[in-house]
Structure 1
């Protein structure tokens, strides 16, 4: 039986990889610190990769494949030193490329990080380059999966869940801070005929977005592990213009809310940024150098079995997770900011 070790395996992508590998009939072990339970049917082994001997509990076995999602080169160096395997599967990122558009796997990479542990997001791309190099120089085959934005159920960042959630919960024209409140509601608070809520969106409908469902990425990673695909692969969803992605989010939410396009310069004046963080609009970023992130050439991965589901399906399936989440979303506009931007734009 194929034996797969997942370094991690209890959260989001690693968990989905482990779940699908077990479902496919493989013998799966996860090594993690234990902050969350592993999927059913997975052998869990406690280990802290921040410790020099953190892999000792799995170091005495031979694995058909090892799947790793780490950010830190020191973790890779220890894995190469301590583990016996025929094949590595490393989840890297499209952030390893120098800024550009329409990149294939031969495009220039950033200079590798020279430290052992990244400490700031500015080091993220270079740190992943260093991790890639360590696995490729290990003397064994390695799948280097350069992933784009990953979304779907379990996406704690909220980047894939914000838009369907916001279209499902627009700031209603009756909200006391909404600009339509005084214009379209009478003294008795009755809604005027035809008044629909609006959703703040960037006025950049052609901005190229790309999102891969965590379930589709995990399925391809399991294939890469079992078929021992060697080399670098861009692994993300197809390029979809922002306007089309927002329409898919509204469809997934069953929403009649209307997009309210606001020019990027005005959004900046109102304190709204792109991509991630407080008062931000995900899937979009007002930086010409980063527009290529959503235009990666994925033909090599598609030719090796990558299949991606329609974006509306990912949005529809992530919405229940957003509705039930307890932790704060790490992106988007809260109701007060949404109303403020609608009022002041």
Structure 2
């Protein structure tokens, strides 16, 4: 295939480009490259898409597949205006954040969506879901009959820069000091390996898969994920299970960011990491065993440095402070 990737220098888009080149496709990436360059073997059109129509002056010819990863509706609309008529297939990598409700487990693609971000309103991290919803709407209007709306869940695996999925195995590998874990043993986690997602995006484009599909991993109980993380890391320390309310009262954040506990979700999010991937599996999505992703993630974490500053997770000093208080006050009994 002749493939145009609108991106190609970040986590997922880089993996898509790498796999596409390895498979023998003719791959072009349109990207600024401000922090990284596309993989070797890719034709790189260096352009700043914020410049609008001028960004596409070097883009020519017909494309078997165009893959869009934007989060800004203005950028996505410009690309659709310029390229939709020249693409045999169009993939928009959306996100499950487009859904209006995250409380219902096993929700499928027919669940209600957030209203699209109004035209002219700036896209921000706070309106991420509405921004992706607006791009979905624009994509269907311009390329609906050939568009795949790939609604990704949390993406993990080697190279993940968000530090969420890798926090727990890296934490247990870092040292044997007491580890603080939220009391959410039975809560679902749901992560898709970046390599599996990239492979499916390319396969779906090649086969002409269309429509909205939840590109999410299988559900794994948090307790199983933590136990496996401890095992592969060889952790021999004490695990202190902390009640959710206690953590909130001590200023610990959900999900991501400094002094957070990754994969711990706020109330009302029982379905956030428990969406159905049945339709995507029928459409060809193949997932490797989650334990393989976990092992490879820890290998990647080790190579990047277990003691590095992280974007998500507890700082060692914060965890030590929480552990001292848990042990002193014994709100819960430590688990082995």
Report the TM-score when normalising by structure 1. Answer: 0.88
- Superposition map of 1:1-345 within 5 A: 2-35=1-34, 36-83=36-83, 84-99=86-101, 100-101=103-104, 102-116=106-120, 118-139=122-143, 140-170=145-175, 172=177, 198-287=178-267, 289-325=268-304, 328-345=309-326
Native 8 Å contact 1:217 1:235 kept in 2: yes
Range with greater deviation from structure 2 (47-56 or 111-120): 111-120
What secondary structure is seen at the aligned counterpart in 1 of 2:161? coil
What secondary structure is seen at the aligned counterpart in 1 of 2:52? coil
Q: Distance in 2 between matches of 1:70 and 1:254?
A: 39
Q: How far off is 1:290 after superposition?
A: 1.6
User: Any stretches of 5+ residues in structure 2 without a counterpart?
Assistant: 327-336
For 1:19-49, what per-residue CA distance to the aligned partner results, in whole angstroms no more than 9, with x for missing partners?
A: 1111111111111102312112111110111
Q: Distance in 1 between matches of 2:70 and 2:8?
A: 11
Range with greater deviation from structure 2 (332-341 or 97-106): 97-106
What secondary structure is seen at the aligned counterpart in 2 of 1:111? coil
Change (3 A) 1:257 1:59: same
What secondary structure is seen at the aligned counterpart in 2 of 1:55? helix
Q: Distance in 1 between matches of 2:277 and 2:318?
A: 37
What secondary structure is seen at the aligned counterpart in 2 of 1:234? strand
The equivalent residue for 1:178 is: none
Q: Distance in 2 between matches of 1:107 and 1:243?
A: 28
For 1:66-85, what per-residue CA distance to the aligned partner results, in whole angstroms no more than 9, with x for missing partners?
A: 11111011111111111121
Q: Distance in 1 between matches of 2:290 and 2:168?
A: 12
Q: Distance in 2 between matches of 1:157 and 1:86?
A: 33
Change (3 A) 1:212 1:312: same
Q: Distance in 1 between matches of 2:210 and 2:140?
A: 9
Change (3 A) 1:311 1:117: farther
Report the TM-score when normalising by structure 2. Answer: 0.90
Native 8 Å contact 2:73 2:123 kept in 1: no
Q: Distance in 1 between matches of 2:49 and 2:232?
A: 39
Q: Distance in 1 between matches of 2:54 and 2:72?
A: 14
Larger radius of gyration: 1
Native 8 Å contact 2:72 2:123 kept in 1: no
Q: Distance in 1 between matches of 2:49 and 2:244?
A: 42
Range with greater deviation from structure 2 (254-263 or 125-134): 254-263
Q: Distance in 2 between matches of 1:203 and 1:316?
A: 24
For 1:103-146, what per-residue CA distance to the aligned partner results, in whole angstroms no more than 9, with x for missing partners?
A: 10011101111034644322000110000011111144101011
Q: Give the superposed CA RMSD.
A: 1.6
Q: Distance in 2 between matches of 1:169 and 1:148?
A: 27
Range with greater deviation from structure 2 (163-172 or 60-69): 163-172
The equivalent residue for 2:329 is: none
Q: Distance in 2 between matches of 1:200 and 1:118?
A: 38
Q: Distance in 1 between matches of 2:57 and 2:158?
A: 31
Q: Distance in 2 between matches of 1:79 and 1:253?
A: 44
What secondary structure is seen at the aligned counterpart in 1 of 2:269? helix
Aligned residues: 318
What secondary structure is seen at the aligned counterpart in 2 of 1:333? coil
